[in-house]
A and B are shown apart, each in its own frame.
Chain A
Amino acid sequence: MRRYSAFAIAREAARHHQGWERAWKSPAPKKSYDAIIVGAGGHGLATAYYLGRNHGIRNVAVIEKGWLGGGNTGRNTTIIRSNYLQDPSAAIFEKARSLYETLSQDLNYNIMFSPRGVMMLAQTEHELRGWQRTAHANKLQGIETEFIGPKKVKELCPIINLDGPRYPVLGALWQARGGTARHDAVAWGYARACSDMGMDIIQQTEVTGVRRDGGKVIGVETTKGFIGCTKLGIVVAGHSGVLAEMAGFRLPIESVALQALVSEPIKPCMDVVVMANTVHGYMSQSDKGEMVIGGGADGYNNYTQRGSFHHVEETVRALVETFPIISRLKMLRWWGGIVDMTGDRSPILSTTPVENCFINCGWGTGGFKAIPGSGWAMAELMAKGHSPLAEEFSLTRFREGRFIDESVAAGVAH
């Protein structure tokens, strides 16, 4: 792989950029692999990357029905934070956040991780106590957060309206090293690095069946024929239930639409990410200048990547109240993605009833921020059969009642 750098750009500029090579190859599938990952979103590609980098497993294929990074990796609001309440969540999200810190350098691809800071507003006494609890939990979890007062909130985010007559801002939980990254670049950077390690990223190929021998997985049927594997990782978010059924087990997953939208671009006016859970909305400003806005998930299950208008209305109303200046901005585009939700709104990273078949799903509304940590843990789980980061996220927790429920702290904006 030719490395990217300012020098490389200068060199290519001299020949009108005719010499750039492909970021990732487009190979035909081999007969079999040591490991197959189904799903070339962020989580699947990160899993493959860490299989190679941390565990030396490089005879790997990542099989993708559509185009890599085309699912929720490419349609989220790009927020990265780890100020979670429960220990298992805090551990994996902080692992992810810390990997994001150096990901551009690790991948030699600028994923634009920008630790601009994330604040979660407290707008009721109850919320205030909740964030204080999270701050105490984070302290023991080794996550740097602090509870800040309204004055500091205003200093960090001058466009905020502290004195909304209905829900005055009482303070916020502040994570200075949270922030945003360029979502597509995360998928592309991992894909390029995987391809460079000799892994095959096979796009436009749908898995249509999982072949087993006894209780053991031996490969997948695809639209390009059978491909054998020793280990199989299913990392397909919204369609996890479908893949699990092919493999012969069921998942406690529901799929709902989550919407997001952006305004037309304006000059920089907001350097931090603000989440306002009481009123159901969150906002940041992209490097392009668009205000990036998200809210709650739709209230019914469905697979259309659209969603309903009334939810967008609720979100925009909340944010116009919180940031009055956006009233005179225009909404440029809005879209939806299908998120896979578990009963406790926490992910599943687990072995399965089928030997050598592993699953990573259920990231719900909060998957982007977890990508590197999720890949790290999933790779370890696939390579060793065990990962401390994944331990608590096993499928057995639903049978045992060992839920990891963040609802007290996460509210709507996961």
Chain B
Amino acid sequence: MSTRLSTGGRLIDRSRQLTFTFNGKSFKGVEGDTLASALLANSQTIMGRSFKYHRPRGVMTSGAEEPNALMGLGKGAKFEPNQRATTTELFDGLTAESQNHWPSLDWDIGEVNAALSRFLPAGFYYKTFIHPRPFWKHVFEPVIRQSAGLGKVPKERDADRYEHFYAHVDVVIAGGGIAGLQSALEAGRAGARVLLCEQTPHFGGRAPVDGVSIDGKPAEDWVAATLSELEGMDNVHIRPRTMVAGVYDHGYVIAYERVADHTPEADAPRHRLWRIRTKQVISATGALERPLSFPGNDKPGVMLASAMRDYIVNWGVSAGDRTVVVTNNDDAYRTAIAIKQAGLDVPCIVDARPEANGALPDQARALGIEVKTGMGIAGVKGLRGVVAVKLCRQAGEGAVVEEVVCDAVAMSGGWSPVVHLWSHCGGKLNWDEAGAFFRPDHARPPTSHDGAGFVTCVGSSDGALYAAEVLPNTSAATRGMLGQIGKTAADAPVVQADAPDEAPLAPIWMMPQGAGPKKRAKMWLDFQNDVKVSDVQLAAREGYESVEHTKRYTTLGMATDQGKLSNINGLAILAGELNAAIPQVGTTTFRPPYTPISMGAIAGEARGDVFQPLRRTPMQDWHEANGAHWEPVGQWRRPYCFPRDGESHRQAVNREITATRNSLGLLDASTLGKIIVKGPDAGRFMDMLYTNMMSTLKPGKCRYGLMCSENGFLMDDGVVARLDEDTFLCHTTTGGTESIHAHMEDWLQCEWWDWKVYTANVTEQWAQVAVVGPNARKVLQKLGGDIDLSKDALPFMAWAEGKLGAFDARVFRISFSGELSFEVAVPASQGRALWEALLDAGAEFDATPYGTEALHVMRAEKGFIMIGDETDGTVIPQDLGLDWAISKKKDDFLGKRGQQRSHMTDPARWKLVGLETLDGSVLPDGSYAMAEGENANGQGNTQGRVTSTYYSPTLDKGIAMGLVLNGPDRMGEVLEFNTTGDRTVKARIVSPVFYDPEGEKQNV
């Protein structure tokens, strides 16, 4: 039984007791515990259930690669599923619950899957649940979904906050073991800016646990001294609890700092995402121990040898009273020794190798531990834990030689370097025959913009697994890297680490070697996903031979540990089955993140009100105070209308229109795009950009212009004012401003880079108000100033600059409503004052602020097109009757050649018309005009569609604009429009100009 030992535990403080609950029961732990060590200390060996078969599982590891001990942590708005107990630091009041079982962890109905496992091999679901057809969606799939999944669903909005940090450094070092520390020392002494990240709260890695001595002292002392030297360097930054999650092109690195997972009440962000730009990455990420594939290797009580050693040395916790160690290498002997030294029993070490004569085996034997070489495990007895193991000859088929009573098993199948960060950005690997692992191929590193490598693996991550190799390897590699970034390594001797020599391991991929199918179906490779040796072999037999096929067919390596424990073992089994060498089979792709990172951290602060920047006009506060109903337009919010007490939106819109048409309306037009185009070649550039001739526009005048894409389609429209000989002011649509500005820059920077033109988006520098209606001139004249607003001095499509009352204003005589209209632009800082001055002066005319919907209705009454309504990226200006705005004189403009293609010049195109229903109703938005018959694909034929449709309060009926086949030639014809129901609506083709067709009102 697992328990807390009376002594030991280098990371815990026994004097500080912590209380926590697990599945509702109260437990005690101590400061420094992980949730896993605390549960083991309380003899809680079963910690979870597997994904597919719902088998009871204990903790397998002591780190980030844990596949079994996944928990739901916290409550309510702080609940989080799938937290690894092994990386969860215990705190007082922690609440945890195990996952994926019903009704309880000990008694799970899903365990029936385990009993049926013979009928549920890899990919069984591809071969069944095919008939009857509706059963998949309605019966089989819901059952599978319910039984799959792992953690519970969070129910509430996240109560925590998250943030992003940005860092620019010379070197990011991932891993704070002795390799990472040594590398930081080298880089720090050389003056490089260093960021050292360690995923756990502790530095030193495995060396202190493994009893390594450095420079003649215990590793722990060297670690403390090194940390203190590093802390004294201004150019070195050290972060515990920070995992380097991903490496991207050109030295971009993501790290994930778990700031407050262990102090949930602290006033701090829970997680912090580091976005780092670095010249070089050092991967000092160590190595991970591999399980051994023997029957029953997934039972609670079977644990990685290194993990068992960690629990004893770091946390003073034993996994059992009698532990059998099973191994193919020397390193696991350390665990046997540690167990023995803790005063517990090791009945035997089962070593699959024919002999074991190194320093560590000798030391174990000297402690009185029996070493059985050439042996393996043929089975593990026990239902919810380990009762005994059955031993057999490794070379045989599994005939049981003897049974050894025990309550825990420590296994070690060797170690695999953590090469994820090397591989994320394309670093290649070599197979190391001696160590039976993949290691970085130094000749093929991930390369940066200059073609040189930018990731360096050091220590175990580079395949230097033995303590004595780690420091020389690290120093040499780090010094090489420093040379690459122009730094010179300090001239300091490399310290030596000492540890007993180890004999090479024997690659043991299956135990026993000749196991039959029955045993192979009990050897787990991927613990969480329940993928066994038999499953991988089945995949290979059925032709899923590529490692990617095998992975996807069996789900090997697709669990939350992403194959950290299972991949190499699985590959080896696959290679064996295919009779191929392991490197020929290759690995699956290593993808970021190294271990899962929270979505909250990725999103950062951006949520709720600050989800995206909110752009505000100078008048926004007034709109807010006066009850605006908002409509998001890009990152702006514009008033849709200003409903008064008891008014519906529609009533408000109608009132706003009527007031504007009859007297005076005011629109906040500040969001309208305003781009300055300036320079000696501005006219030439404008002529290319717009379909119209803009270079002939006189200063003081405005012209309505169209912009098309290269393909000839209408992109944007707006009024251009010429400010002076060199300068144009281009008004664009609100939503199109940024993309139009980018479009301009695209052409200027990529194609016409030698033209003397620059552009500036000055949208937010100006507040703009449309003053609209028969009384528009009067209200402006009331404000006074030196601008002559008379019809003759400022005719339609002219503009003037000067004083309007106290305001420095530009007044544009333009109209999007068909009324007498002035758009008044003032510096943004004067916007609110202008708005209020206009309201004051306009009070006698019942000045009425109106929103976007009134704007839309009025422009539709007047037959003006709206980008995004009448256009959709497939419409050319000629379709909209805008031929007059396309210059015939210019040699070229963007879109000209596109508009000459045969389909564009086809006379039979859908063209702009007005539409009026026969009964005065409003046509449905997006409705199509139906035509006789069906096309070759059985779709109903069409001959047009509605592009804008509104109730017009001015005309008291529905009005619409649409594109209809040869529309302008079919005036008076009645078409039938569809609805989404069975009904159709008849409408007559009319002129699109419903209001004031002669333009008398806007010209007064």
Contacts and interface: CB of A to CB of B under 8 A. Distances in A.
B552 A184 contact: yes
Contacts of A265: 51, 82, 148-151, 560
Interface in B49-92: 51, 78-82
Interface in B157-178: 157-158, 160, 162
B152 A266 contact: yes
Nearest to A129: B925
Contacts of A9: 119, 121, 124, 127-128
Interface string B111-149: 000000011010011111111010011000110111011
A16 B517 contact: yes
A20 B542 contact: yes
Interface of A: 4-6, 8-10, 12-13, 16-18, 20-26, 66-67, 69-70, 74, 87-88, 90-91, 95, 101-102, 104-105, 108-110, 112-116, 123-126, 129-130, 132-137, 139-142, 146-147, 159, 161, 164-167, 179, 182, 184-185, 188-189, 203, 263-269, 278-279, 285, 287-289, 304-306, 308-309, 312-313, 316-317, 319-321, 324-335, 343, 388-389, 391, 397, 399-403, 405, 407-408
A18 B927 CA distance: 60
A110 B534 contact: no
A166 B614 contact: yes
10 contacts: A9-B128, A74-B548, A90-B939, A110-B129, A123-B632, A164-B608, A265-B150, A328-B78, A331-B599, A399-B901
Contact of A26 (B543, B549, B872, B925): B543
A317 B606 contact: yes
A105 B127 contact: no
Interface in B891-914: 898, 901-904
A136 B126 contact: no
Nearest to B73: A328
Most B-side CB within 10 Å, residue of A26, A101, A179, A332: A332
Contact of B930 (A108, A113, A140): A140
Nearest to B80: A328
Given A4-B126, A124-B633, A317-B604, A140 B560 contact: no
Nearest to A102: B133
A157 B81 CA distance: 20
Given A140-B930, A330-B82, 6 more contacts: A16-B118, A166-B612, A306-B248, A309-B252, A321-B608, A331-B602
A116 B137 contact: yes
Interface stretch (B1-9, B585-593, B675-683): B585-593
Given A108-B130, A184-B552, A405-B873, A316 B158 contact: no
Nearest to A113: B136
B607 A115 contact: no
B903 A400 contact: yes
Contact of A114 (B137, B555, B602): B137
B901 A267 contact: no
A324 B158 contact: yes
B928 interface: yes
B924 A141 contact: no
Most B-side CB within 10 Å, residue of A8, A12, A115: A12
B156 to A, nearest CB: 7
Contacts of B79: 328
Contacts of B252: 308-309
Contact of A17 (B121, B632, B711): B121
A334 B148 contact: no
A100 to B, nearest CB: 12
Given A136-B927, A330-B597, A320 B149 contact: no
A162 B133 CA distance: 34
Given A13-B119, A328-B598, A20 B541 contact: yes
Contacts of A115: 137
Contacts of B602: 312-313, 316-317, 320, 331
Contacts of A320: 599-600, 602-603, 607
Given A9-B124, A105-B133, A133-B945, A400 B901 contact: yes
Interface in B201-247: 246
A319 B148 contact: no
B758 interface: no
A322 B130 CA distance: 35
B130 A10 contact: no
Contacts of B562: 332-333
Nearest to B942: A140
B704 interface: no
Contacts of A333: 562, 591, 593
B541 to A, nearest CB: 6
Contacts of A309: 246, 248, 252, 254, 275
Contact of A16 (B141, B521, B603): B521
Contacts of B248: 306, 308-309
Contact of B632 (A20, A124, A321, A329): A124
A123 B632 CA distance: 8
Nearest to B549: A67
A328 B275 contact: no
B940 interface: yes
A142 B940 CA distance: 8
B501 interface: no
B765 interface: no
Interface string B602-644: 1110111101101000000000000000011100000010000
A332 B149 CA distance: 13
Contact of A321 (B130, B592, B611): B611
Contact of B130 (A4, A142, A306, A388): A4
Most B-side CB within 10 Å, residue of A265, A278, A316: A265
A287 B154 contact: no
Contact of B599 (A91, A102, A308, A326): A326
Contacts of A20: 538, 541-542
Contacts of A6: 128
Given A91-B937, A334-B591, A408-B872, A136 B979 contact: yes
A325 B980 contact: no
B155 interface: yes
Given A91-B937, A287-B145, A316-B603, A110 B127 contact: yes
